[in-house]
Amino acid sequence: MLQSWKIGDFRVWSIVEYFGPTHDPEFLYPEFDRAKFQAAAAQFPPGHYYPPIDRLVVTIQTWLLEAGDRRILIDTGVGNMKARPAARMLRLNTLWPAWFTATGQDFGTITDVVMTHMHSDHVGWNTVLNGERWVPTFPNARYHFPQADYDYFKGKRDAGEPVDAGSFADSVEPVVEAGLANFITDQSEICDCLRVEAATGHTPGQLNYWIESGGETGVFSADIMHHIAQIYCPEWNTAFCILPDEAKKTRAAFLAEAARTGAMVMPCHFAPPHTGFVRRQDDGFAFEPAPSHYGVTA
């Protein structure tokens, strides 16, 4: 279901590719502790965890930001027809394009495509198949890649290592070859509205993007957390965090800042409603989901 929210004069849309009870918490979190998890899970809002199968609900989605004349996508999911080793990501044929156009946009109206980092579940819709070739999906957009992530994944590819299930080759390189790529280095703002903040750890070059309008704040928070469990247990990295110590420091600092600012937090992977607020609770933090909103007036 398509949802959108207002942040001041801006509007953000959640465009879901899929979500489901897919993740075994003990697999996702190598430092998992069952007693701590049960205490946290007792506070989860409905729909984030299913005890009978012991699975966390994880979403794959894209955020669309309407800010002035800009139409900005933040991360682009897995994509259709991509050859990926995980069964739930293998040659998808989802309705993502239909949900995307239901926002009133088409592929030609997108001005910017912004990556938080370059894992395969964040770059997929960068490209679509044209015959046998992968070509950029959004022909009029600038695609903004974190330079440090690009360098890291390109270094692996140049060394002959498999890079994120082939996503670098089919979802990043065609964009660079088409001349549509911009590399984010140390600038403090992009797209006239996104404040760039380093969020190193999950990947070497991961970035957060903060927005502010009309006194309200939001943040696209990438994969600092995969699930609200990490708001209650921030010391848990996922099995996919490349720099574990950095990831923990980044998460701790982020939670404090999110609570201080009251920002609407927009990660990639939270279960519906996919966004919410971090609140101080005793010595730690708690999650307050944003109101679900399926209309366009909130």
> Applying CB under 5 A, which residues contact Zn ion?
121, 223
Give 271's DSSP letter.
P
Q: Tell me if residue 168 falls in helix, strand or coil.
A: helix
Cβ of residue 22: shortest distance to Zn ion, in angstroms?
Answer: 12
Q: Which is nearer to Zn ion, 16 or 193 (CB)?
A: 16
CA-nearest of 249, 256, 278, 250 to 265 is 278
Residue with tokens 């075994």: 24
Sign of CA dihedral 255, 261, 263, 268: negative
* CA–CA distance, 21 with 56 (Å, rounded to integer): 5
Q: Which is nearer to Zn ion, 10 or 63 (CB)?
A: 63
Cβ of residue 119: shortest distance to Zn ion, in angstroms?
Answer: 5
- Cα 182 versus chain centre, distance: 19
Cβ of residue 95: shortest distance to Zn ion, in angstroms?
Answer: 20
> DSSP E strands: which ranges in the chain?
3-7, 10-23, 49-50, 55-67, 70-74, 112-114, 127-130, 133-136, 142-146, 181-184, 189-190, 194-198, 207-213, 216-220, 264-266, 276-281, 284-289
Residue with tokens 């959004």: 138
Q: Which is nearer to Zn ion, 17 or 223 (CB)?
A: 223
Q: Which is nearer to Zn ion, 6 or 117 (CB)?
A: 117
Of the CA atoms within 13 Å of residue 206, those in its CB half-sphere come to 26
Cβ of residue 51: shortest distance to Zn ion, in angstroms?
Answer: 24
Cβ of residue 207: shortest distance to Zn ion, in angstroms?
Answer: 14
Q: Which is nearer to Zn ion, 170 or 223 (CB)?
A: 223
What's the token pair of residue 230? 């990490």
Cβ of residue 80: shortest distance to Zn ion, in angstroms?
Answer: 18
Q: Which is nearer to Zn ion, 116 or 137 (CB)?
A: 116
Q: Which is nearer to Zn ion, 121 or 149 (CB)?
A: 121
Cβ of residue 58: shortest distance to Zn ion, in angstroms?
Answer: 9
